[in-house]
Amino acid sequence: MKSRLVEKFRVNFGRAPEFIARAPGRIEFIGNHTDYNGGPVLGAAIDRQVWVALARRAGGERRFGSDQRGELVTRPADRVEKLSGAQSWVNYPLGVLGALPAFGLRAPAGFDYFALSDLPPGAGLSSSAAIELASALVFLAAAGENPPRETLVKIGRQAENDFVGVPCGILDQGVSGFGKKDHLVFIDCRGPHFATVPLPGDARFWIFNTHTKHALVDGLYAERHRECLEAAQGLGVGLLAEVSPAAVLAAEKKLSPPVFRRARHIVEEIARVDTTVKALRAGDLAAVGQLLNASHRSSQTLFENSTPELDFLAETLAATPHVYGARLTGGGFGGAVMALTAESFGAFQARAVAAAYAKTFGAAPDILQAQTGDGATLVPV
Ligand code: GLA
C-alpha cells in the first residue's frame, strides 16, 4: 500500500510526500448504540486501512486527491467550507482541519494530500473514522504538533459530529485510534477511557455486507439517539448508563412503549459488554458467541435497528458449525453482520451462507475475512 501511495502521490503532484499515516477500519464487536449513552463498547481494529500522504506547499492552496475519485479538489487554505456531491469525501479531512483550533492545535496552511484505501466504503467498517484519523496524523505532523492519542480520537469525532454532521459516539474513532493486533478495544465512553482486551487465538472475524441501506438511515440513527435521551430524562438521569437493568424494568410505566424498549436494550447491552469482557478473559469463546447472538436479538426486537436481511444472516450464521456467534455491526438499519468464528470456519462455509442469502434476497452479500490490526499511526516516509 505504501509504495502505491507514494507512486500515486508522485503521479498527481510530481514530487514525494513528506508525511504518511495509516488508520484502520473497525468492527463493532458488541455494545450496540451504547457509546452515546455513556456505556462501554468493544470493537476491533481490522487489517484494512486508509492511507494518507501529505507534502506542504507554498502558497495558499490545499489540493486533495484520492484513488476513489478521479479529480483533484483544490481549496483555499484560509477557509474550511463544506463540499457536496462527488467532492463530499473531502469533508472528512476538511472537518479535521476545522476541528484543530478547538483543541488548541495548529493546522498546516497549503499542502498536497492523497488518500488511498483498501477498506470498502459503505460496508459498516467506518472508513470515515479511518480517513479522519489518518488525515489528522499527517496534518498534525506537518504543523509540528504531537497531541496525545486521546485528542486525536476526539478530533476525529468532532469532525464527524460538527462538520460532516453525523451524531455518532466515540466508538469508531476510538477503535481506529487505539486498535491493537490480537486485541479488542474496550471503551468506557463516559471518560472516555480506552483499554485493550486480548482476543483468544482461535477467534476469526467474517463480515457479510448486505449493501442494503435503509433510506432513512441517518435520520433513524438520530431518532434512536433522541429516544435514548428521552428515556434517560424519564428515568431522571443524564445518560442511560447510569441506570441498572432492574431499574429500567421497574420504571416501564414511566416511558412510552418504544422508548422503554430502547432503554431496555441499552442497559441490557451494557451488561452484556461487561459479561463479554469476563468471558474473553476466561478464554470462553462459546460464551462470547452466545452474548453476540443475544445482542443481535435485542437489536431486532427492542432497539429495532435490524432488518430482515441482517436477521437472516445473523440467524443462519449462528446455526452454522464453527461459528461462535453473529450480530449486526454498527448503526444498523442495513449494513453488515459480523461473525466470530473458529479458525476451522473457512471460505467454503462463508460462501454457503452467502448462497442461502442470495436465494432469499436475490443478491449475494460481500464476504470479507478480517484480522485484527493496529491503531492509527504515522509511517516513516
Ligand atoms: C455507528 C456510530 C457509532 C455507534 C454505532 C452503534 O457506527 O458511528 O458511534 O453509535 O453506530 O453502536
pLDDT digits (tens, 9 = 90+) for 73-104: 999 999 999 999 999 999 999 999 999 999 99
Q: Is 172 in the active site?
A: yes
Q: Whose CA is nearest to atom 11 of ligand 1?
A: 331
> Where does the chain hold its CATH 3.30.230.10 domain(s)?
2-198
Mean pLDDT, residues 146-157 taken together:
97
**Lookup: cell for 166:** 453525523
| Residue 305, ligand 1, Cβ within 6 A | no
The pLDDT of residue 121: 76
- Probe target for ligand 1 pocket from 171, 273, 327, with the most ligand atoms within 8 Å of CB: 171
215 pLDDT more than 70: no
The pLDDT of residue 219: 86
Q: Give the architecture-level CATH label for domain 2-198.
A: 2-Layer Sandwich (3.30)
| Residue 156, ligand 1, Cβ within 6 A | no
CATH number for the domain running over 204-370: 3.30.70.890
Contact 141, 157 (CB under 8 A): no
Q: Whose CA is nearest to atom 9 of ligand 1?
A: 169
The pTM score is 0.95
172 pLDDT more than 90: yes
Catalytic residue among 35, 47, 112, 172: 172
The pLDDT of residue 218: 75
Q: What is the mean pLDDT of the chain?
A: 95
- Probe target for ligand 1 pocket from 128, 153, 172, with the most ligand atoms within 8 Å of CB: 172
Query: Helix H segments across the chain?
Result: 2-13, 91-99, 127-142, 149-158, 171-178, 217-234, 245-250, 257-281, 285-298, 308-318, 347-361
pLDDT-based confidence at residue 216 (cuts at 50, 70, 90): low
> Where does the chain hold its CATH 3.30.70.890 domain(s)?
204-370
